[in-house]
Structure 1
Amino acid sequence: MSYLITELYAGQIERLQRSFTDDEVKSCIELTKDQSLVYGQNNDSWKTYYSRPIVPGLLTEGLITQVISDKLPGSACILLQKELIFYHPVYVGDVITAELEIIDINIERNWVTQKVTCFNQTGIEVIKGQVVILLLNNRRL
């Protein structure tokens, strides 16, 4: 479902859930050239820092932008600002839920501000923050 800006309201919430695989981490590493040892793709160096290989933050952020593009507002938009705090590592295989809640709507600028909360399968908060998006059109696609 896609929403017009006039159909959005403060307190509106949407969620998506997924887990990340070793292959997805590998693809992310190849695309971003982020060769950090904590991802554990070619060695066991991650054991110095974590109990298991972790998922790159950029990959986890992709779930947040998927909520925006698929559900809230689910229409053409541009990410203007993001402020995210990574509280806890996301491990390969974790089931992550991204929840976005509208906290402000600026009709004049076509801006929507959303609170971001991501948590894992045990309820541990892994990411918290907010995003501001610009809705590019005000008609249903």
Structure 2
Amino acid sequence: MITAFHGQKATLTRTFTKEDVKRSSELTNDYSPVYTMEGNRWTSQYPKPIVPALLTESLITQLISERLPGTPCILVQKDLVYYSPVYVGDAVTAELVVIDIHEKRNWITEKVTCYDSDGNEVIKGQVVVYVLENS
């Protein structure tokens, strides 16, 4: 039984550190120099080290697991657009809003919007989660 409702909203804010990026790189073997700014070739485009997309997405999945729906579920679809990078040291806020509930399939569709500390949209899209029957 799905306990979420249309329009339900949840937010979560986190500031990613250099240590977070380092640990993410170690887990994923993604050592792109844009995460550390080694060589400084990108400083005109990107003035600070960038948080890996996968690490930024973890804020969304944490929000799904802990708050919306906050019950055991499986991510079955995600469609995200990255408008601008999230920088190390900047606070990023993820916001989820329930936009559809498919009771028969136990699916919840949520609109995703992530904002940087200046209130600019950095990620936008949607996710679909399958809520497990025994939750």
Q: Give the TM-score taking structure 1 as reference length.
A: 0.90
Number of equivalences: 135
SS of residue paired to 2:43: helix
Work out which of the residue numbers 71, 74, 93 in structure 2 matches 1:75. 71
Structure 2 unmatched ranges of 5 or more: none
Is the CA contact (8 Å cut-off) linking 1:96 and 1:118 kept in structure 2?
yes
Q: 1:10 to 1:138 in 2, by over 3 A?
A: farther
Q: Which residue of 2 aligns with 1:40?
A: 36
**Residues 30-109 of structure 1 aligned to structure 2 (within 5 Å):** 30-40=26-36, 42-47=38-43, 49-109=45-105
Q: Distance in 2 between matches of 1:18 and 1:50?
A: 20
**Residue deviations 1:46-82, cap 9 Å, x none?**
4264111000000000000011000001110000000
Q: What amino acid is aligned across from residue 96 of structure 1 in structure 2?
A: V
- The alpha-carbon deviation at position 126 of structure 1 amounts to 0.4
Question: Share of identical aligned residues, percent?
Answer: 55
Taking only aligned residues, the RMSD between alpha carbons, in angstroms, comes to 1.4
- The alpha-carbon deviation at position 137 of structure 1 amounts to 2.4
- Structure with the bigger percentage of helix: 1
Q: Distance in 2 between matches of 1:138 and 1:107?
A: 14
